[in-house]
Structure 1
């Protein structure tokens, strides 16, 4: 099979590229490298440095088909930044996805897997695992932009036959167990790599945003899914959209608090994590844990790296072997 991966030089996209290659597929990557890394793309993969906001350039790549499917990861993805620059996030994420979907429709692509988000559920305060049927009430412009794209895909299916899988990620983390790829954001905003860097003495004390949430220890609770398991879920989803469109939540189903993440990093690294309390961040719900029952039942998917210490161990090995990320 032949697949086009947008954002394939980014964190999740690069791991999806590896999963597709490992499964024997041909992969082509499209990325503007605004946040991705050219070195994250394997040398044997065709790469197009293209910005999806340029419709003509996007359409030229899509027209090269024949694609068995497109996997769309490219997006702005920082919740806090979206609260400061809401119109920029709404415009950029929506219009770039719209350009890609239009190009897919015009050039006969039949399948697309979309990197959506659990931030769609940012409004309600829930204490149970969140199913796909939960009320969609984004708590940030980032989450809103993803829901807008889900609606575009709905109508692209209804009116043009473009089948889609919308995969609502919870917290992607970890690194390729073989050391081929890892997490390298500039700046880094994700808790596990920040906690690891604090333990390794590469950054000042970790700032823990919010210690007064209605949770078991006052810190936010999140569902962490290993990025390799997440990549595998995309391949599973591709097999489900031959004749229909689907929406799946992807997470481990296990919630860990921010303080529990700190303790995990301390166990795995054997180092203390310096940290200090900080005010809550706007747009952060107290509790986000996935109910991935539908994905598990329909595809047989289950996380291979479901334990937090396992996830932290792969992330730690990547951070230790790549102290400057891909720029080492």
Structure 2
């Protein structure tokens, strides 16, 4: 059985949709940001917290778990700056509780959701796994701390792990059964689509004077289903012994500017956005684009869905929501 912590959240629930076709799945989630209805009915759902040893004991003592996939982090950069305690207690402290329980029950396969925020503001156009990590906020630092802890645990306790550094996850499940639903919403594509659906009055663009072709920030957007499939091949690599330890970037390898994203949303929906130019946000790099060549060459994975497909799938989901 595979334990998915945070499996009721945005990316976790999409992974579970893929995983239940191949494995028995247990989802552990405290529903602080996840949604019970997003969990596939074929999965066993347990409401609980990865930081509570009693909750973990109840799962590990009852089920024969062969791998753990960890999606249960807090992930708002701005919030991490004003409330770092929350991020270090949950993203680091609670993960240590999870790892300790895994070791106790001799569960040695672990897949960790990490982030492009571990790189901070890189000085290269295309980021690969050899790019220096230099996070600039508590969120990125909390993720990098766990990456470093995993390397130590691998040496000391025989832990096998794959770290997956996400770039900008977006889109929705093909059937539009589940999609991206955060409160508050901080991601560009759902913000634009909520605006076009009549929920928001305008879209704010933070900075138009960056050193990019149109002056707005460039980011690498990856469809959430492509992300889920990357987790599937990463899991296979652990279970079949291909990998003992590995770190991979997950992105499209293509960058799209904020203006390009807004224009594509307008094309997909046939609606015109009310766009307001605003000041830059502190700490926003001009360009964050991933090289995913390493996971492609080692495990055969690459992103298949382009920006148009990402936004169309997201719009299909947003149209069905009752705001």
- 1:159-198 alpha-carbon deviations (Å, 9 max, x no partner): 1111000000000000011222111111111100000111
Once the two structures are TM-superposed, the CA of residue 244 in structure 1 deviates from its matched residue by 1.1
Cα 1:125–1:210 change in 2 (3 A) is: farther
Once the two structures are TM-superposed, the CA of residue 253 in structure 1 deviates from its matched residue by 0.3
1:133-172, aligned counterparts within 5 Å? Answer: 133-172=130-169
Once the two structures are TM-superposed, the CA of residue 86 in structure 1 deviates from its matched residue by 2.3
Does the aligned pair in 2 maintain the 1:121–1:138 contact within 8 Å? yes
Once the two structures are TM-superposed, the CA of residue 278 in structure 1 deviates from its matched residue by 1.8
Cα 1:64–1:284 change in 2 (3 A) is: farther
Q: Look up the SS of the partner of 1:168 in the other structure.
A: strand
Does the aligned pair in 1 maintain the 2:220–2:255 contact within 8 Å? yes
Across the aligned residues of Structure 1 and Structure 2, the Cα RMSD in angstroms comes to 1.2
Structure 2: gaps spanning 5 or more residues: none
- Quote the residue 2:319 is aligned against: 320
- Quote the residue 2:26 is aligned against: 28
Once the two structures are TM-superposed, the CA of residue 201 in structure 1 deviates from its matched residue by 1.7
Once the two structures are TM-superposed, the CA of residue 283 in structure 1 deviates from its matched residue by 2.8
Single out whichever of 107-116 and 81-90 deviates more from structure 2: 81-90
- Quote the residue 1:97 is aligned against: 95
Once the two structures are TM-superposed, the CA of residue 28 in structure 1 deviates from its matched residue by 0.6
- Quote the residue 2:83 is aligned against: 85
Does the aligned pair in 1 maintain the 2:77–2:137 contact within 8 Å? yes
- Quote the residue 1:13 is aligned against: 12
Does the aligned pair in 2 maintain the 1:80–1:281 contact within 8 Å? no
- 1:36-56 alpha-carbon deviations (Å, 9 max, x no partner): 001011223211111122122
Moved over 4 A (4+): none
Once the two structures are TM-superposed, the CA of residue 286 in structure 1 deviates from its matched residue by 1.6
Once the two structures are TM-superposed, the CA of residue 273 in structure 1 deviates from its matched residue by 1.0
Asked whether 1:267 is paired with 2:267, we answer yes
1:1-328, aligned counterparts within 5 Å? Answer: 2-22=1-21, 24-127=22-125, 129-241=126-238, 242=241, 243-305=243-305, 307-324=306-323
Aligned length: 320
Structure 1: gaps spanning 5 or more residues: none
* Equivalent-residue separation in structure 1 for 2:145 and 2:61 (angstroms): 25
Once the two structures are TM-superposed, the CA of residue 267 in structure 1 deviates from its matched residue by 0.6
Once the two structures are TM-superposed, the CA of residue 124 in structure 1 deviates from its matched residue by 2.3
TM-score w.r.t. structure 1 length?
0.94
- 1:199-221 alpha-carbon deviations (Å, 9 max, x no partner): 12211101112222221211111
Once the two structures are TM-superposed, the CA of residue 87 in structure 1 deviates from its matched residue by 3.0
Once the two structures are TM-superposed, the CA of residue 92 in structure 1 deviates from its matched residue by 2.0
Once the two structures are TM-superposed, the CA of residue 98 in structure 1 deviates from its matched residue by 0.8
TM-score w.r.t. structure 2 length?
0.96
Does the aligned pair in 1 maintain the 2:197–2:318 contact within 8 Å? no
Q: Look up the SS of the partner of 1:208 in the other structure.
A: strand
* Equivalent-residue separation in structure 1 for 2:294 and 2:244 (angstroms): 15
* Equivalent-residue separation in structure 2 for 1:28 and 1:37 (angstroms): 15
* Equivalent-residue separation in structure 2 for 1:33 and 1:4 (angstroms): 16
Once the two structures are TM-superposed, the CA of residue 256 in structure 1 deviates from its matched residue by 0.3
* Equivalent-residue separation in structure 1 for 2:258 and 2:304 (angstroms): 22
Does the aligned pair in 2 maintain the 1:83–1:283 contact within 8 Å? no
Does the aligned pair in 2 maintain the 1:79–1:283 contact within 8 Å? no
Does the aligned pair in 2 maintain the 1:175–1:228 contact within 8 Å? yes
